[in-house]
Amino acid sequence: MKGSTGAGTKAQWLASTFLALATAGTATMAPAVAQAQAQTFSFNIPQKSIRAAMNDIVRVTGIDVVFAETPAASRTGNAVRGSMTAGQAVEMLLAGSGLTYRFSNATTVQIYDPAAPRAGLAGGTDGAIALDTVDVTGDRLPAPYAGGLIATGGGLGVLGERSVMDTPFTVTNYTSKLIQEQGAQSVADVVRNDPAIRNVDPTNVGNANYFLVRGVQVGNGAIAYQGLFGIAPNSQSTLAGIERVEILKGPGAFIGGISPSGVGAVINLVPKRAGDTPLTNLTTIYMSDAQFGGHLDVGRRFGAANELGVRANLYYRDGDTPIAQQSQELLNGTVGVDYRGEKFRWSLDFGHQVLNTDRMNNTVTPAACNAAICPPIAKAPAPTHAWVSPWNYSDFTDTYGLATAEYDFAPNWTAYAKAGFDTTDWDQLVQAGTNLQTNGNFTATTSRYLIDISRRSGETGVRGEFDTGPLNHKVTLAANTYIFDRSQANQPSGAFALPVSASNIYNPAFVAEPTVPFMVPAQQSSITFTSYAVSDTLSVLDERIQLTLGLRQQYVHVENYSIATGAQTSLNDSDALTPMIGLVVKPWENVSLYASYAEGLTAGVVVPTTYANGGEVLPPYVTKQYEAGVKVDWGKLLTTVSLFHTTQQSGIANLATNTFTADGETVYRGLEFDVAGEIRPDLRVLGGFVLLDAENTRTANGTYDGKTPTGTPDYTANLGLEWDPFFLKNLTLTGRLNATGAAWANSINNQKLPAWTTFDFGARYAFEREGGKPVIVQANLINAFNKGYWTVYPGFGLLYPSEARTFQISTTFQF
């Protein structure tokens, strides 16, 4: 495989390192419970559900909590205020609820119903509830919701952790349980569960991931890692070392700063942390057509109070994919180290990823047309069909790291800082298509991409809480920066000019592999984002009314250079003040009414080289969103209904002149419904729908006013179910429907792409072992009926073929 030299050596080195961790001693020293009970903390927790309040206690104390996901978890607990130990806080919360607790060790408290049947929760407590336990770990992640597929809260950038019910936006926080059980390899695998999100490009085929969120484009470069942009791999983010995928829909300029690649959402990755229980998991993997691999996950904590943790992950697979004559190699290794002190906490994360793909299907643009003459779009080829020459390849290598630190310098006040980097080596020799005719004919143009990308980002700030009379204030002051440097080699020319040839997507005509000269990338652009943020969340009546006000002043500095001469070709400085306002009102404990206004600012996109003005960087653009909705926690079902209105400055592809320029704005209006949780103990649901109305406005001379932006469907819907059948213990069956409405392939709206629906199925079975943890076998089938369809890169009009039917089976051994 091209570009993969050294990957095997790296895999062997990483494997030996992680296996050494796996065989390390598992014994940890636990201090006396009495010693843990002696430490006092300051609490200010209003009346709320026991589940939500326990998350607040975890955030303050860092203890672990294990309790059962039963209706009792949704009961309203008592307010917890004052200076007290962790045990006293739990006792105050549970008083009168019918639940009780015990410390199984210094850092783990078990909550149980003494009237429940004997079940033997870890630690051996009479009456403890063993089924469907929820682990709230010491890394301070909010607890999973009923069913375990989503969490009760997540990170909101500079605002810190927030419960879903306290967040004035539509948010979804996908858990490690979902990632593991669905065999998700990348962010694209996870977001396919979300009714508001569609993958633009096929999942895991070797190109960069792009997403459509409520019609608005988001690129993989905009994915945050621990709240920072510029850390996650630039093209495709593998999830071997990721605990959760958190999604906030809509522009998040205030939450995380300027977005490097689209403002349709903020997608945040939460890295894994070692728990107090030693962990060693080995998963063997097979994927169609003939890919084999494995995933090793090792976690240990050390120290008298388990204050130091190490979590290491190694994922490797290689072989043929479902696409004809295509093969792929993926290596991802991560190590996370964290320290949990009484007042001081820090963490270090490091990762390395290699993604090499031979014969990667690329994009094709539809034939140029006008209002009078416009040929229909060619029918999408079979997803397993390859229409590029066999020598096409795509190689990406990313090395990334992040350091974070927090210090509680006063009661209810924390200072924090984090900084990280990512370097990307991008090497591609690929054919892209233009002028696609109804009969499948197109022009194949070969391009060589030799690109080096360096990204660095950092953030520092202070979060605190205080009261002024009846008002409670949660305030944040923060500053961050993001630096993006890109170097690229010129396209070969003269005697080494790359081929341009006629072909057909159904019956491709291949050309001989070109000879590519040695090239060295030269600086192409340098972008610096700097911003300063301030916010205040004011609340009254035990947080039943919350108003969040935020401002972020942002500065953008862009320098473009000539690759050939090195001379600076343009310089642009701009700034914007992006506000955010959010209101949450809770007329009842389980109901949140919310409304919000937010703005986003993103760097101007780089025009693809398939256009005559390819390489041009468009000016930064602003997105504005109004949203209002209602969230209801029914006990074991969480539902959200939201209305949104988003406006974004837009770009238009003119196929007649083969140019892409900034032109007008796009308005997106819609209704979204989301549901997650348990319908009954043996049946879980995850899904919803979006009804979307989008149109272009204020375009030059009104040419495209009233037209629907390319690639924007009028509806999207998902329905995912998990069923534990009564006829066979330890078996779970899964299924998911993914429906997407029709979309336009061009700006003048006379080339339409039909609606499409796909189905995914799965099953898993746990083999019980006497004296040992179960062995879990799971199988997943994506796009079960091999449905062929086109998706469109928003604005650009680039057509992507659909994902091929993919079968995956894995076996997980827990030691």
Q: What is the pLDDT of residues 719-749, one digit of tens each?
A: 999 999 999 999 999 999 999 999 998 888 8
Compute the distance between CA of residue 490 and CA of residue 378 in angstroms, rounded to an integer. 32
Dihedral sign for Cα atoms in the order 424, 430, 433, 439: negative
Q: What is the mean pLDDT of residues 437-460?
A: 95
Task: Say what the pLDDT of residue 606 is.
Answer: 65
Average pLDDT, the chain: 85
Q: What is the mean pLDDT of residues 487-499?
A: 91
Rounded Cα distance, 671 and 715, in Å = 10
- The pLDDT of 800-812, averaged and rounded, is 94
Question: Which strand ranges, in their side-by-side order, compose the sheet holding 210-213?
Answer: 197-199, 210-213, 216-219
pLDDT for res 18: 40
DSSP state of 499: P
Q: How far apart are CA 198 and CA 359, in angstroms?
A: 24
- pLDDT, one tens digit per residue, over 747-760 is 888 889 999 999 99
Q: pLDDT, tens digit, for every residue of 497-548? A: 999 999 999 999 999 999 999 999 999 989 999 999 999 999 999 889 999 9
Please tell me what DSSP assigns to residue 257: S
pLDDT at residue 238 tops 50: yes
Three-state secondary structure call for residue 156: coil
- CA torsion angle 186 383 718 191 (round to 10): 10
**Summary count for the chain: helices (H), strands (E):** 7, 43
Q: Is 57 helix (H, G, I), strand (E, B) or coil?
A: helix
Burial class (CB within 10 angstroms; exposed 0-12, middle 13-18, buried 19+) of 469? exposed
Nearest to 400 by CA among 647, 229, 540, 593: 229
pLDDT in tens, 619-660: 667 788 999 999 999 989 999 999 999 988 776 666 567 777
pLDDT given at position 101: 82
Assigned token pair, 545: 């009314």
Alpha carbon distance 704, 698 (integer Å): 8
Provide the residue type at 603 as one letter. Answer: A
Amino acid 30: pLDDT:
36
Beta bridge partners of 344: 407
Statement: residue 663 has pLDDT above 70: no
Give, to the nearest 10 degrees, the angle between helix 50-61 and helix 86-94: 170
Q: Which of 381-390, 523-532, 755-764, 795-804 has the highest mean pLDDT?
A: 755-764
Predicted local confidence at residue 27, as pLDDT: 34
Q: Give the pLDDT confidence score for residue 136 in this predicted structure.
A: 40
For 476-508, b/e burial (b = at least 16 CB within 10 A) is: bebbbbbbbbbbbbebbeeeeebeeeebbbeeb
8 Å CB contact between 627 and 617? no
Query: Distance between CA atoms of 653 and 651, rounded to whole angstroms?
Result: 7
From the list 54, 52, 67, 160, the residue with the least C-alpha distance to 112 is 67
Which string of b and e fits 38-54 if b means at least 16 CB within 10 Å?
Answer: eeebebbbbbbbbbbbb
- The one-character DSSP state at 700 is G
Which residues lie below 8 Å from residue 703, measured CB to CB, with a gap of 6+?
none
Indicate whether 614 pLDDT > 70.
no
Strands 591-602 and 798-801: unpaired
Quote the CA–CA distance of 130 and 238 in Å, as a whole number: 33
Q: So what's the pLDDT on residue 86?
A: 83
Contact criterion met (CB below 8 Å) for 544 and 585: yes
Predicted local confidence at residue 166, as pLDDT: 93
Residue pair 275/301 in contact by the 8 Å Cβ criterion: yes
Regarding predicted confidence, which is higher, 534 or 110? 534
Mean pLDDT of 251-276: 84
Is 39 within 8 Å of 87 (Cβ atoms)? no
What is the reported pLDDT for 123? 39
Q: Give the bridge partners for 736, in sequence order.
A: 720, 760
Stated pTM of the model? 0.85
Left, alpha or beta for 361 (phi > 0: left; psi -120 to 50: alpha)?
Answer: beta
Contact call for residues 394 and 430 (beta carbons, < 8 A)? yes
Structural domains present in the chain? 31-136 (3.55.50.30), 279-814 (2.40.170.20)
Confidence of residue 107 (pLDDT cuts 50, 70, 90): low
Which residue type occupies 457?
Answer: S
What span, in angstroms and rounded, lies between the C-alpha atoms of 366 and 797? 8
Separation between Cα atoms, residue 476 and residue 468, nearest integer Å: 16
């534990």: which residue's tokens?
Answer: 724
pLDDT at 532: 95
Percentage of the chain beyond pLDDT 70 is 86
**What pLDDT, on the 0 to 100 scale, is given for residue 71?**
61
138-194 residue pLDDT tens: 346 888 888 899 999 999 888 988 999 999 999 999 999 999 999 999 999 999 999
Extract the tokens encoding 92: 């105050």
Look at residue 86 and give its three-state secondary structure.
Answer: helix
Q: Which residue has the higher pLDDT, 368 or 620?
A: 368
Instruction: Quote the CA–CA distance of 804 and 783 in Å, as a whole number.
Output: 7
Over residues 388-425, the pLDDT tens digits come to 999 999 999 999 999 999 999 998 899 999 999 999 99
310 close to 269: Cβ distance less than 8 angstroms = no
Phi-psi region of 240 (alpha: psi -120 to 50; beta: other; left: phi over 0): alpha
pLDDT more than 90, % of the chain: 56
First to last CA, the chain: 34
| CA separation for the pair 47, 77 (Å, rounded) | 6
Q: Which two tokens stand for residue 463?
A: 């979060």
